[in-house]
Amino acid sequence: MVNMLTKRLEGSHGKWVEELHRVLWAYRTTPKTATWETPYSLVYGSEAIVPTEMHVRTTLSGSTSLEENNELLALSLDLLDEKREAARLRNWSYQQDVARTYNKKVRTRNFQQGDWVLRRAEKKTGKLTPGWEGPYKVIEVRRAGAYRPQDSKGKIQPNCWNALHLKAYHF
């Protein structure tokens, strides 16, 4: 929502108060990718009507009478819990898909005690400075992904290192 507000305000120089209600309307009435529903419909059970449709009859607003409209609203409120549950399941499925896509690219690195590794350089000062430092010997595997290293001179490092910052060193 902040991005939407920023885009609307790029040329209007501090008139965010006038633009805020338009941005909120756009946010609340746009279907979200994860749920396929609008936030407005998940709260009120029906889609929002554009304010001009209240005064100008369109095919949507002019086809029902007031009584029929009230019946349809009552029915949509009765079905609101089912709609929210379906949106929750779609959101869960979407999160699983995103995690699966992300995890496809993740390469796990497992080291055993006695393996030699290089550590990603903490401060890289220029293009030509090496990106890795070491070698270090893994002397202890603390838990999955955490290793206690020892440098080539025998000095044990005080902290454990994460496998994300290590790569195998081959002599």
Select from 81, 105, 129 the last residue of a domain.
105
- Residue 20 lies inside a defined structural domain of this protein: no
Lowest mean pLDDT among 9-13, 36-40, 78-82: 9-13
Q: Average pLDDT, stretch 107-120?
A: 88
- Residue 7 lies inside a defined structural domain of this protein: no
- Residue 14 lies inside a defined structural domain of this protein: no
Please count the CA atoms within 13 angstroms of the CA of 23 that sit on its side-chain side. 15
Q: Exposed e or buried b for every residue in 87-117, given b needs 16+ CB within 10 A?
A: beebbeeeeeeeeeeeeeeeeeeebeeebbb
Task: Give how many domains the chain has, as a whole number.
Answer: 2
- Residue 6 lies inside a defined structural domain of this protein: no
pLDDT digits (tens, 9 = 90+) for 62-94: 666 778 777 877 877 888 889 899 999 999 999
Decide: pTM greater than 0.85. Answer: no
Indicate whether 35 and 100 sit together in one domain.
Answer: yes
Indicate whether 101 and 35 sit together in one domain.
Answer: yes
pLDDT on residue 129:
85
Which has more pLDDT, 52 or 135? 135
User: In whole numbers, what is the pLDDT of the chain averaged over residues?
Assistant: 83
- Judged against a pLDDT cut of 60, whether residue 5 lies above it is answered with yes
Indicate whether 38 and 64 sit together in one domain.
Answer: yes
Indicate whether 140 and 100 sit together in one domain.
Answer: no
Select from 105, 140, 159 the last residue of a domain.
105
pLDDT on residue 108:
77
pLDDT on residue 147:
92
Q: Average pLDDT, stretch 117-134?
A: 85
Which has more pLDDT, 153 or 123? 153
Select from 53, 75, 105 the last residue of a domain.
105
Indicate whether 132 and 95 sit together in one domain.
Answer: no
Cα→Cα distances 79→28, 29, 85, Å: 20, 19, 10
pLDDT on residue 1:
67
pLDDT digits (tens, 9 = 90+) for 48-68: 777 666 666 666 556 667 787
The boundaries of the domain holding residue 149 are: 116-168
pLDDT on residue 110:
86
Indicate whether 124 and 101 sit together in one domain.
Answer: no
pLDDT on residue 87:
92
